[in-house]
């Protein structure tokens, strides 16, 4: 279970510079597709680390159920969803991935110590 989330984080890390380059070259519409893709992957990681099934229709309801999540995660996800073609959305997404990577590592340790 935890390996799947780790591979999604690693995929973002290996492609984030390409997304940044698209924004720097003012190719926002091309970058938009990547932001939307990786936002979906971020949501998957968030759900994996919290041992929940992916269901975007219920995402708004799940906020209180997250044991492991970055601060203001739902507001940030909503902003990115509303403005995926903006560079600031890329910045937010990059920060969310950095934060979830740390949270992920912490969750693995905590969950391993429970057994």
Q: Exposure of 61 by Cβ count < 10 A (0-12 exposed, 13-18 middle, 19+ buried)? A: exposed
* Tokens read off for 22: 């698209």
For residues 55 and 47, give the distance between their C-alpha atoms in angstroms, rounded to a whole number.
9
For residues 91 and 5, give the distance between their C-alpha atoms in angstroms, rounded to a whole number.
20
* Residue bearing tokens 């519409």: 29
What are the pLDDT digits (tens) for 59-71?
Answer: 666 555 688 999 9
Task: Provide the residue range defining the domain that includes 89.
Answer: 2-114
What are the pLDDT digits (tens) for 10-56?
Answer: 999 999 999 999 999 999 999 999 999 999 999 999 999 998 876 66
CA atoms within 13 A on the CB side of 110: 10
Domain total of the chain: 1
pTM given for the model: 0.89
């Amino acid at each position: 279970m935890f390996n799947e989330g780790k591979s999604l984080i690693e995929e973002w890390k290996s492609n984030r510079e390409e997304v940044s380059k698209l924004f720097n070259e003012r190719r926002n519409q091309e970058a938009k597709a990547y932001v939307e893709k990786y936002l979906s992957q971020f949501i998957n990681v968030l759900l994996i680390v919290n041992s929940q099934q992916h269901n975007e229709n219920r995402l708004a309801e799940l906020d209180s159920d997250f044991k492991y999540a970055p601060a203001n995660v739902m507001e940030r996800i909503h902003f990115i969803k509303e403005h995926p073609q903006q560079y600031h959305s890329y910045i937010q997404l990059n920060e969310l991935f950095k934060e979830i990577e740390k949270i992920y590592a912490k969750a693995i340790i905590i969950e391993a110590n429970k057994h």
